[in-house]
Amino acid sequence: MPESLYRHPTHGEIVELAAAEGHDADIPTNAGSINDCPAPPSKAESPSMELDKDIDVEKGNASSLTSLVESHSGSEAAPEKDEEEHHDPKIVFWDGPDDPQNPMNWSEKKKWGTVTVVSCITFLTPLASSMFAPGVPEVMKTFHSTNDMLEGFMVSVYVLGFAFGPLFFAPLSEMYGRLPLYHTCNVFFIIFTIAAAVASNMSMFIVFRFFMGCFGGAPLVLGGGTIADIIPREQRGTAMVVWMMGPTIGPCVGPIIGGYLTAARGWRWNFWLVAIVAGAFTIVSMILMSETSAPVLLERKARRLRASTGNAALKSKLDSGLTPKQLFKFSIVRPTRMLLRAPICTVISIYCAMTYAYLYILFTTFTAVFTTQYAWHGGVVGLSFLGLGVGSLLGQWVFTHFGNKTVAKHIARGDFQPEHRLGMMCVGGFFLPVGLFWYGWSVQAQTHYMVPVVGTGVLGFGLLMTFMPASTYLVDVFTVHAASAMAASTVLRSLTAALIPLSSQQMYARLGYGWGNSLLAFLSVALVPIPFVLIRYGERIRRRTTVKL
């Protein structure tokens, strides 16, 4: 049982756990809320964290998440306060360090079984986003459509759902727990997947795809929190890597499966297969998974005790005191304000949005490109996505290995700043235009098919090398409100990825594959200086920026 649950948690520990669970640190985790923990005295200029006051989410939050984890609350009386609170008969908490109701005390078999189920569900959701991409021409024939814009929108509308669904699922999980959200969203995901499989016209199909994305986004929101609920810090890194493999591999493996499945059974079977597998995962999750959210479990315990004892004063130690209206406000309003008023959040979100748009431009055009330029047909078309997947995996490995080494070096020196995360982003930024030029002109010249496939691998490597450092940088900069910053970035990149690819076919028709991809490459070249500027001026920008929530 982690010792941190039976002593007053540090400011950094609460922030770290909240970031892992996907919500801001003024909402309690199983370590408590930032409101219950005095900030380090060295951060005298840090803003007040009380919920009913304006909060400056950027100014004064320059210290990184990692340095906060190493800091203490700065109060010698804190452990005594925590001990008093633990023995207060009105406060409901775990019954000692070995309480079997605490998910942290589950058996290793149950913990890793839960992680496996969540990882499988998380893998399926991104898989479904692009699985039927090779079958898009067949869908167009079925619905008698020749609209190039709809051809791209059929694929990208799924990610549009990612922009809206998670904004509602996050506060709902704080009120009702993770398990009801998993089961409800899984069931609705299956329903809308089946609906897409039997759609009789284009409008129905696009609407059902949108709702697939809305409900399919739930594991991406809840998965990190589930892992943080049950896996101790020393093992959490391994679990998070396993969980993150789904969003990385799924979108690239899906078209390979979908290409052959479409050729063998038709495009509708892409959805039937997803529905069948999702149904199996849902049944398994209903059998094996249990609620993991400590605040929700303790609130249920307090409710039972109030009913059995008649003592209405009993209260969970992790009770946030927030109304549903407040939870929704923080979930929806905060990200919007941060996106519009925090320059660092705005700039990083724009960078991520553009790189994500490139990914979905490729997803929506690969089939047409390799069909027209290389006469690929049937299941072979799905193999055109292979380079992108291999490049993405390589980018994830390089970032994890070398990025962590760089950060560890600065932490050891005691001079770590969030901007040290951006070194890898500087490198990745150059791979994006190189990959776009490589892919575009090799396709235009109809060179051997391996040349553009390798070019997409370079592009996939650059995408991961920019996207992952940007995400960790937002967490380090905004610390207490990291989840809102990430939500802001997610909304913008989902909207961009859904809308920009709509014009990709027209772009290629007018400019050709060479100059069309060169246009995208020139735009990515314009973005290259962003991490360099933030490395040099990021700290100054953070100290001079004020964002009130």
Say if CB 354 and CB 345 are below 8 A apart.
Answer: no
Q: Is the pLDDT reported for residue 280 higher than 80?
A: yes
Q: Residue 91 forms beta bridges with which residues? A: 315
User: How far is the C-alpha of 409 from the C-alpha of 189, rounded, in Å?
Assistant: 44
DSSP tag of 32:
B
**C-alpha dihedral over 10, 12, 17, 23, to 10 degrees?**
120
Q: Who's near 132: CB < 8 A, 6+ residues apart?
A: 139, 155, 258, 262, 267, 270, 271
Percent of the chain, pLDDT > 90? 31
In three-state form (DSSP H/G/I as H, E/B as E, the rest C), the secondary structure along 255-314 is: HHHHHHHHHHHCCHHHHHHHHHHHHHHHHHHHHHCCCCCHHHHHHHHHHHHHHHHCCCCC
In the structure, what pLDDT confidence band is assigned to residue 349 with cuts at 50, 70 and 90? Answer: very high
- Determine which helix (DSSP H) or strand (DSSP E) holds 92, and give its type and residue range: strand 91-92
The pLDDT value recorded for residue 547 is: 62
Average pLDDT over residues 333-345: 86
The pLDDT value recorded for residue 43 is: 38
The tally of CA atoms less than 13 A away on the side-chain side of residue 180 is 11
Tens of pLDDT, residues 39-75: 554 433 333 333 333 444 444 343 333 333 333 333 3
The pLDDT value recorded for residue 270 is: 93
The H-assigned helical ranges of 217-267 are 218-230, 233-265
Whole-number CA gyration radius for the chain = 24
In the structure, what pLDDT confidence band is assigned to residue 11 with cuts at 50, 70 and 90? Answer: low
Q: Which of 351-365, 379-393, 474-488 has the lowest mean pLDDT?
A: 474-488
User: How far is the C-alpha of 304 from the C-alpha of 522, rounded, in Å?
Assistant: 62
Cα-based angle 509, 511, 516 (whole degrees, multiple of 5): 100
The pLDDT value recorded for residue 79 is: 44
SS3 545: coil
For the chain, the average pLDDT equals: 82
- Residue 283 Ramachandran class (φ > 0 left, ψ -120 to 50 alpha, else beta): alpha
Tens of pLDDT, residues 107-152: 999 999 999 999 999 889 888 888 888 888 899 999 988 888 888 8
Instruction: Please classify residue 469 by burial: count the beta carbons closer than 10 Å to its beta carbon, then call 0-12 exposed, 13-18 middle and 19+ buried.
Output: buried
Average pLDDT over residues 317-346: 81
In the structure, what pLDDT confidence band is assigned to residue 331 with cuts at 50, 70 and 90? Answer: confident
Give the pair of three-digit tokens for residue 3. Answer: 């010792």
User: How far is the C-alpha of 190 from the C-alpha of 278, rounded, in Å?
Assistant: 6
Domains, the chain, in order of start with CATH, read 47-72+333-549 (1.20.1250.20), 110-290 (1.20.1250.20)
Q: Is the pLDDT reported for residue 309 higher than 90?
A: no
The sign of the dihedral angle between the CA atoms of 242, 243, 245, 246 is positive
Cβ neighbour number for residue 159 with a 10 Å cutoff: 29
Q: Is the pLDDT reported for residue 275 higher than 60?
A: yes
What is the full DSSP assignment across 436-492? HHHHHHHHHTT--THHHHHHHHHHHHHHHHHHHHHHHHHHHHHGGGHHHHHHHHHHH
- pTM of the prediction? 0.81
Q: Is the pLDDT reported for residue 85 higher than 60?
A: no
